[in-house]
Amino acid sequence: MIELVGLRKVCLMVHDLAEELGFYRDILGLKVADTAEETPCAELEAGAFRLRLERGSAAPLTGARARLVFAVREIETARQELLSRGVPLGPLVTGEGGQRYCEGSDPEGNPFTLEEAGFPVTTTYSTGSNVPRPTGRRVWAV
């Protein structure tokens, strides 16, 4: 059996690389680690791993999508700041064990969760049916 030693990178296929990069960098505050001229992509530092945004085909992205889960120190403050910038977020939920989290989506509808830091990685999230989705093209307040 192989021995995995950790998760290094998550790749997210996107249509509008500039818009998605702006969201994750300017709204969520991830630091740009690398960009490549020869390949339309960007990598951002996200704690112990990197988030790679890569421009995909022009075909609509459909079906199941990965959920990005970000830990934050002050969940209420983070949620209010993102709401004030126009990011669609669901209500603050208290999960099993008392961990609080909220769900949202990026400009292309990719789901993400903000969860309160300091809890073990065991929380189960909703199926995403109640996750707010962006409608039309959004302009994120920076």
For 19-51, write each residue's pLDDT tens digit.
Answer: 999 999 999 999 999 776 667 889 999 888 899
* Structural domain of 84: 66-132
* 17 falls within a domain: yes
* 139 falls within a domain: no
Of 10 and 59, the one with more pLDDT? 10
> How many domains would you assign to the chain?
2
What whole-number distance in Å separates Cα of residue 137 and Cα of residue 142?
16
What whole-number distance in Å separates Cα of residue 105 and Cα of residue 133?
6
Q: Percent of the chain scored above 70 by pLDDT? A: 74
Task: Calculate Rg over the CA atoms of the chain.
Answer: 15
What whole-number distance in Å separates Cα of residue 15 and Cα of residue 29?
21
Give pLDDT, residue 6.
74
- Tell me: do 50 and 72 sit in the same domain: no
The answer, as to whether pTM is greater than 0.85, is: no
Nearest to 96 by CA among 71, 66, 70, 116: 116
* 26 falls within a domain: yes
What whole-number distance in Å separates Cα of residue 129 and Cα of residue 106?
15
- On the question of pLDDT at 142 being above 50, the answer is no
Residue 102 exposed, middle or buried by CB count within 10 Å (0-12, 13-18, 19+): buried
Q: Which of 77-91, 95-109, 116-130 has the lowest mean pLDDT?
A: 116-130
* 72 falls within a domain: yes
**Single residue among 25, 56, 87 that ends a domain in this structure:** 56
* 20 falls within a domain: yes
- Tell me: do 51 and 71 sit in the same domain: no
- Tell me: do 32 and 70 sit in the same domain: no
- On the question of pLDDT at 117 being above 70, the answer is yes
Domain with residue 44: its CATH number is 3.10.180.10
